[in-house]
């Protein structure tokens, strides 16, 4: 059985998920997510050591195709819908600081 | 309104034209879209162009296909090249897809005329269409009530006679539940039967695209058009498309059907009574209906609300302000990502992303996500055992008729319970259909659910047709 969800747990997952929450939102989500996880304790408590996990219901794995070039999307079409682009690439704000 | 099959026949014989049908559909959309908020983007120009192409094919003596000139609505998580595609989210406001989903290409190839994109819960997360950034959709049968969700716009489009058929997606019931609440036939096909290429992913191991229609035959026709292997979806089943329309009148004589106790538990009395009457009708038609218990169904909700958010937290990581839609400027990339996601996502999407992130995080993975995947195995095994005894299963689609706005928005768990009868099928990867059968509170429609093993769609349509015939006779 997992421990109850705390406010700091929610703050941590919000940070991991790149979301900022107000104090009121933190309170609300802590309560709501806590209720959902409490409901999920019915399966967290099951003894399932011998059961294999399912990723695909019919067991399809590693579908491959021949490694041959096929037509793909036009770069210009894709970049046209991006918030910002430059010289045929996605443009983003500065990642690293100024050189010292 | 004329059925899709009748429209296609009339277009093919020249009794009507695709343009006339598109114009009729546009007029119906114009008359009620403001009130009901069904379409988030109406594509007048594109629809008329497509219809003209269909009419030109007819003029040249060519056959445009099984859906010749049939107006169709697309849920707004299906990509259609050059068209607005927002998935009900602010984060994709104004975004136009650079390519088309395989299902969109297939319906176009069959001569259908897409009229635009329908409203939906944001990223398909919801059971009422109330989480859409573009406002809720109203149920055409009672505008004070929800149409269900997440494919509420597609259901409402058909229920309001705007289009005879529509496409939606079903991750935990998002086609079957709105079909039930709007009095329509809705199908969640076998996982992998329909290509997911070009469907904006919510929970990739559960998502399936499927049809809405006013009747069983139209639903079978649309599924026949969109089914089949697609090399661009690595989870696509290798077998080809099944024949579905030809067998809709095959009946249920000699079939064994299991009435699942857990797929009625907690349902309103009017819903339980409707399923009881469905049992009688199927028995009269020659089926043997037995009572069954699949206790694993009770664990479905918990497993689903760990697996689906976990997959969603990963799938929605791509919305970071770099490649699509919204960007909120900030001094560095991480701050820009965070500001964009914070403004771009609504509360339900944030809730699920955080739930999924938590379920996958170190220290909780085994207790939650890992455990949920094992419950999924148990669910699959339980259904296999049931299908050793019977051909199909029977239960309710939703616990109640359409509910009122705001009834469940403040309590996420109460909203999640709307899907308690539909979720097990998604976890098992199997097929299920909701068919309108009887009416309940407020004279609103009730949906009865028929479930079958993988690739049992033809049998499901035949059984649903038995109930439909009884309803209309």
Domain count, chain A: 1
Instruction: Nearest by CB to B324, from A21, A57, A82: name it.
Output: A82
Residue range B456-470: average pLDDT? 98
Q: In terms of Cα–Cα distance, which of B76, B90, B79 is closest to B321?
A: B90
Residue range A34-51: average pLDDT? 91
DSSP strands (E only) in chain A: 85-86, 89-90
Q: A99 in a domain, yes or no?
A: no
- Which CATH number fits the domain that encloses residue A34? 1.10.20
Q: Using an 8 Å CB-CB cutoff, list chain B residues near A53.
A: 370, 373-374, 376-377
Q: A20 in a domain, yes or no?
A: yes
Residues B103, B226 contacting (CB under 8 angstroms): yes
| The CATH fold of domain B256-301+379-472 | Amidase signature (AS) enzymes (3.90.1300)
Q: Is 80 exceeded by the pLDDT of residue B439?
A: yes
**Cis before B56? omega within 30:** no
Domain enclosing residue A32, as ranges: 7-44
B342, A55: Cβ pair inside 8 Å?
no
Tokens encoding B353: 């992303």
Residue range B304-327: average pLDDT? 96
Catalytic residue check, B410: no
Q: In terms of Cα–Cα distance, which of B84, B80, B79 is closest to B39?
A: B84
Rounded Cα–Cα distance for residues B415 and B23 (Å): 37
The residue of chain B with its CA nearest to that of A50 is B374
How crowded is residue B56: how many other Cβ atoms within 10 Å of its Cβ? 12
Helix (H) or strand (E) holding B392: strand B392-396
Q: Is A24 helix (H, G, I), strand (E, B) or coil?
A: helix
Q: Is B75 left (phi over 0), alpha (psi -120 to 50) or beta?
A: beta
Q: How far is CA B38 from CA B107, B149, B177, in A?
A: 20, 12, 16
**Looking at B174, B313, B434, B456, which residue is catalytic?**
B174
A53, B454: Cβ pair inside 8 Å?
no
Catalytic residue check, B109: no
CA A70 to chain centre: 30
Q: Within an 8 Å CB–CB cutoff, is residue B314 touching chain A?
A: no
Q: Average model confidence (pLDDT) for chain A?
A: 89
Tokens encoding B176: 């079957």
Q: Is 50 exceeded by the pLDDT of residue B49?
A: yes
A17, B235: Cβ pair inside 8 Å?
no
Q: Tens of pLDDT along B193-226?
A: 999 999 999 999 999 999 999 999 999 999 999 9
- Cβ-based neighbours of B336, under 8 Å, separated by 6 or more: A92, A93, B321, B327, B328, B329, B330
Which residue bears the tokens 């529509």?
B166
Largest CA distance in chain A: 57
Q: Is 60 exceeded by the pLDDT of residue B26?
A: yes
Tokens encoding B251: 């009946």
**Looking at B25, B75, B154, B313, which residue is catalytic?**
B75
Rounded Cα–Cα distance for residues B239 and B228 (Å): 7
Q: Tens of pLDDT along B362-407?
A: 888 998 999 999 999 999 999 999 999 999 999 999 999 999 999 9
Using a pLDDT cut of 90, give the percent of chain B over it. 95
Residues B212, B120 contacting (CB under 8 angstroms): no
pLDDT of residue A100: 65
The residue of chain A with its CA nearest to that of B328 is A83
Q: Which of residues 22-81 of B touch A (CB under 8 A)?
A: none
Q: A31 in a domain, yes or no?
A: yes
Q: A69 in a domain, yes or no?
A: no
Rounded Cα–Cα distance for residues B418 and B108 (Å): 33
Strand order in the sheet with B39-42: B39-42, B113-118, B71-75, B165-170, B208-213, B185-188, B431-439, B445-452, B392-396, B256-260, B288-292
pLDDT of residue A94: 81
Dihedral sign computed on CA atoms, order A44, A46, A47, A52: negative
**Looking at B25, B89, B150, B195, which residue is catalytic?**
B150
* Least Cα separation, residue A35 to chain B (angstroms): 8
A52, B454: Cβ pair inside 8 Å?
no
Instruction: Nearest by CB to B205, from A35, A56, A80: name it.
Output: A56
pLDDT of residue B117: 98
Q: Is 90 exceeded by the pLDDT of residue B432?
A: yes
Pairing, β B71-75 against β B165-170 = parallel
Residue range B161-186: average pLDDT? 98
Catalytic residue check, B128: no
pLDDT of residue A58: 83
- Cβ-based neighbours of B457, under 8 Å, separated by 6 or more: B187, B189, B190, B193, B220, B223, B227, B242, B244, B431, B433
| Confidence tier at A63 by pLDDT (50, 70, 90) | confident
Q: Using an 8 Å CB-CB cutoff, list chain A residues near B416.
A: 36
Residue range B60-84: average pLDDT? 98
Label each residue of chain A as H, E or C.
CCCCCCHHHHHHHHHHCCCCCCHHHHHHHHHHHHHHHHHHHHHHCCCCCCCCCCCCCCCCCCCCCCCCCCCCCCHHHHHHCCCCEECCEECCCCCCCCCC
Residues A79, A88 contacting (CB under 8 angstroms): yes
Q: Using an 8 Å CB-CB cutoff, list chain A residues near B301.
A: 39
pLDDT of residue A98: 67
pLDDT of residue A1: 46
Per-domain boundaries in chain B: 4-241, 256-301+379-472, 302-366
Tell me if the pTM is above 0.90: yes
> Which of A43, A62, A67, A75 should be substituted to probe chain B, the one whose Cβ sees the most B Cβ atoms within 10 Å?
A43
Residue range B278-285: average pLDDT? 98
Q: A35 in a domain, yes or no?
A: yes
Q: Within an 8 Å CB–CB cutoff, is residue B405 touching chain A?
A: no
CA B443 to chain centre: 24
Same fold? B4-241, B256-301+379-472:
yes
Q: A66 in a domain, yes or no?
A: no
What percent of chain A is helix, strand and coil (3-state, nearest 5)? 40, 5, 60
pLDDT of residue B473: 67
- Cβ-based neighbours of A15, under 8 Å, separated by 6 or more: none
Q: A76 in a domain, yes or no?
A: no
| Confidence tier at A62 by pLDDT (50, 70, 90) | confident
Q: Within an 8 Å CB–CB cutoff, is residue B384 touching chain A?
A: no
Q: Is 70 exceeded by the pLDDT of residue A99?
A: no
Residues A41, A2 contacting (CB under 8 angstroms): yes
B413, A39: Cβ pair inside 8 Å?
yes
| Confidence tier at A55 by pLDDT (50, 70, 90) | confident
* CATH tag, B4-241: 3.90.1300.10
* Least Cα separation, residue B195 to chain A (angstroms): 14
Q: Tens of pLDDT along A75-98?
A: 999 999 999 999 999 999 987 776
Q: A85 in a domain, yes or no?
A: no
Q: Which of residues 225-254 of B touch A (CB under 8 A)?
A: 231, 234-235, 237
B354, A48: Cβ pair inside 8 Å?
no
Rounded Cα–Cα distance for residues A39 and B413 (Å): 9
Rounded Cα–Cα distance for residues B397 and B223 (Å): 20
* Least Cα separation, residue A100 to chain B (angstroms): 18
- In angstroms, the first-to-last Cα distance of chain A is 51
Q: Average model confidence (pLDDT) for chain B?
A: 97
């Amino acid at each position: 059985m997992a421990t109850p969800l705390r406010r700091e747990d929610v703050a941590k997952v919000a940070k991991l998920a790149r979301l900022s929450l107000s104090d009121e939102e933190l309170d609300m989500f802590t309560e709501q997510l806590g209720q959902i996880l409490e409901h999920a304790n019915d399966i967290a408590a099951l003894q399932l050591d011998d059961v294999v996990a399912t990723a695909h219901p019919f067991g399809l794995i590693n579908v491959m195709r021949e490694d041959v070039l096929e037509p793909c999307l036009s770069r210009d079409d894709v970049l046209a819908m991006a918030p910002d682009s430059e010289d045929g690439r996605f443009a983003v704000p500065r990642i690293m600081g100024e050189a010292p | 309104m004329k059925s899709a099959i009748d429209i296609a026949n009339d277009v093919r014989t020249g009794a009507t034209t695709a343009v006339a049908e598109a114009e009729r559909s546009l007029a119906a959309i114009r008359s009620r879209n403001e009130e009901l908020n069904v379409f988030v983007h109406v594509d007048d120009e594109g629809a008329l162009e497509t219809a003209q192409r269909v009419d030109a094919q007819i003029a040249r003596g060519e056959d445009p296909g099984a859906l010749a000139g049939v107006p169709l609505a697309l849920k707004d998580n299906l990509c259609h090249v050059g068209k607005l595609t927002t998935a009900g989210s602010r984060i994709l406001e104004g975004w136009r897809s650079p390519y088309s989903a395989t299902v969109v290409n297939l319906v176009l190839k069959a001569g259908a005329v897409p009229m635009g994109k329908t409203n939906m819960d944001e990223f398909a997360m919801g059971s009422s269409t109330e989480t859409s950034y573009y406002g809720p959709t109203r149920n055409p049968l009672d505008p004070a009530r929800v149409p269900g969700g997440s494919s509420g716009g597609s259901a409402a489009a058909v229920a309001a006679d705007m289009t005879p058929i529509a496409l939606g997606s079903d991750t935990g019931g998002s086609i079957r539940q709105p079909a039930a609440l709007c009095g329509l036939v809705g199908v969640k096909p076998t996982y992998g039967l329909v290509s997911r290429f070009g469907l904006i992913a919510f929970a990739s191991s559960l998502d399936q695209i499927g049809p809405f229609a006013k009747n069983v035959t139209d639903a079978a026709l649309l599924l026949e058009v969109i089914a089949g292997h697609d090399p661009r979806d690595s989870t696509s089943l290798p077998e080809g498309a099944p024949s579905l329309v030809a067998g809709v009148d095959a009946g249920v004589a000699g079939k064994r059907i299991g009435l699942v106790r857990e797929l009625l538990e907690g349902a309103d009395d009017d819903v339980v009574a409707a399923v009881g009457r469905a049992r009688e009708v199927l028995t009269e038609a020659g089926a043997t209906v037995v009572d069954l218990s699949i206790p694993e169904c009770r664990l479905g909700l918990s497993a689903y609300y760990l697996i689906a958010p976990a997959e969603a937290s990963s799938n929605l990581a791509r919305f970071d302000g770099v490649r699509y839609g919204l960007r909120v400027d900030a001094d560095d990339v991480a701050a820009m990502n965070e500001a964009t996601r914070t403004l771009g996502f609504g509360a339900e999407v944030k809730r699920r992303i955080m739930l999924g992130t938590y379920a996958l995080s170190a220290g909780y993975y085994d207790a939650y996500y890992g455990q949920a995947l094992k419950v999924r195995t148990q669910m699959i095994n339980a259904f296999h055992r049931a299908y050793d005894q019977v051909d199909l299963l029977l239960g309710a689609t939703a616990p109640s008729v359409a509910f009122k706005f705001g009834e469940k928005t403040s309590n996420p768990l109460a909203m999640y319970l709307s899907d308690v009868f539909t979720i097990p099928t998604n976890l098992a990867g199997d097929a299920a259909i909701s068919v309108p059968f009887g009416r309940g509170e407020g004279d609103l429609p009730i949906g009865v659910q028929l479930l079958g093993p993988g690739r049992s769609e033809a049998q499901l349509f035949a059984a649903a047709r038995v109930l439909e015939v009884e309803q209309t006779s």
